[in-house]
Every structure is written in structure tokens, then in C-alpha cells.
Copies of this chain bind each other. A is one copy, B any other.
């Protein structure tokens, strides 16, 4: 990543960090253990890619309101999925971003409830903050709930679990990636653009951007997991392979995965170009996704 983009990204990330700190209940809110667990997982870092994409999309055209509360909401949603995915009954991961995962740091019951709380809070944040823009609020909530529901995000996670330890075909792998990872990334962009009162055509264009970003993101993640070191990832390397999880690498090999990542990056860039507006930052973010593997 070049220095200019790095600094620009950092200002967006800082805005998100500040939003998280300001908009989440304090860790001393009753019950303290629950709110401490929510903050522990929300403050674990990460690149804040979904809220940053949302804000970038909201800046494509003039926006009717500040997208920060919605950006924090999508990070709450994303963080709840990590907490529940790490549970012993699901992926059984003790580490997340180099720290003990929520159920390891607290306990399993607290982690279930902290995840439930962050999921619920995502919708509360949007309904409360955009109460004076109710048409916007309703669209944002519909986008977020649909993308993260049983037919998309959770459905992708379910099929991922169901296919562990067995050979996987390209269709199933695509279903998992499009839904488990792709749907929420697409929602981040769609929700951002909602702030600009978009046309139907613009919504279709941003969905195409999201679709290809989502696939790039997952393929790059699979490549990094197969080739990186644990310090860089903050989780045990080869974790996916160890549990015989379905990855692009298992299906296409490293070289095939590289080719797919490049193809989807090019498609995402083309769709963002077609959308127009102030898309310079969005184009840079898309290009950078693929560069993570170089």
C-alpha cells in the first residue's frame, strides 16, 4: 500500500474507532460483564474494512446524513459473527486477531450473549440515529438484515459447517463465499450509497462492485491462510486446512486462486468506474485488496 493511501485509510479508520468508542454502551453499564465483553471484541482492532467501504460509498455523491452510526452498526454486525463463529460448537477458535477470542477471555455463555447483543445493537443504532430520516433508516435496516440473515451470511456459515471434512464442488464453494463473506461487504457499499439517494441503476452498479470485492476478499484470505505466518494473521495458520474446510486453494490450487482474485479485482474496478462520482478512494481500496497477497 502506498503511503498516501495508507494515511488516507488511517483517517477513515480513526473516525470509525472514535465512533465505536462513542456509540457503544460503556463497559461499566449494567451488566458490566456483558458490556465489557462487547467492547473487548469491538476494540480488538481489525482493518474496519466494512465501515470504511460504507463511508467511501457514502462519499461518491452528496450525502443526506452522517453515515458514521451505520458504519459502526455494520462493524457490530461483523464482530458478532466473529464471536459466534469462534464458539466451541462452531469453529472452536481460541484466538482472534492475536488475542484470546471472546469465549476464551470471558466464558461461553457470555460470548453467546455478547454476540446476540452486538447483533441487536446494530439495528438499534440505525433506528435510533436515523429516526428523523425514517425512509433511509428502513432501507439501511432491510439491507443489513437481508445480507446478514439465514439466506445470506448465516446461510453461508451453515453450508461451510455442513461441508467440513468432505470434498467440495465449485458451486457450493461459491455459495459459501458469496454469502458468508460477500453479502455483508456488498451491504456495506449499498448502505453507504443509500445516503446519496441513489437511483436503481446506481444500486445495481454498487452491488456489482460489492459482489466482486467479496469474492476477491475471500480468495485473498484463503491464499494468505495457506501461505502466511501466524503473526501476520493473528490466528493459527493452516487452521482452515486443518479442519479440512472448503477453500479456493483446495479447489483451484494457489495459482488458480491468484488468477481468480485478479479477475474479480478487475471486474470490481470496472463497476466502480462505471458508477462514477468521487470514486478515487474506492478505486484505491479495491486495488489494494488484491495487493495484500503480493
- Say whether A84 contacts B112, CB under 8 Å: yes
- Say whether B123 contacts A145, CB under 8 Å: yes
- Interface flags, A95-124, vs B, CB<8A=1, else 0: 000000000000111101111110111011
Cβ distance A44 to chain B, nearest Cβ, rounded Å: 18
Q: Does A137 make an interface contact (CB < 8 A)? A: yes
What is the interface of chain A mostly: helix, strand, loop, or mixed? helix
Q: Does A12 make an interface contact (CB < 8 A)? A: no
Q: Does A239 make an interface contact (CB < 8 A)? A: no
Could you say which of B38, B127, B134 contacts A150, with CB atoms under 8 Å apart?
B38
Which residues between 133 and 171 of chain A lie within 8 Å of chain B, taking CB atoms?
134-135, 137-139, 141-142, 145-146, 148-151, 154-155, 157-159, 161-162
Q: Does A253 make an interface contact (CB < 8 A)? A: no
Interface residues of A (CB under 8 A from B): 25, 29-31, 33-35, 38, 80, 84, 87, 89-90, 107-110, 112-117, 119-121, 123-124, 126-128, 130-131, 134-135, 137-139, 141-142, 145-146, 148-151, 154-155, 157-159, 161-162, 175
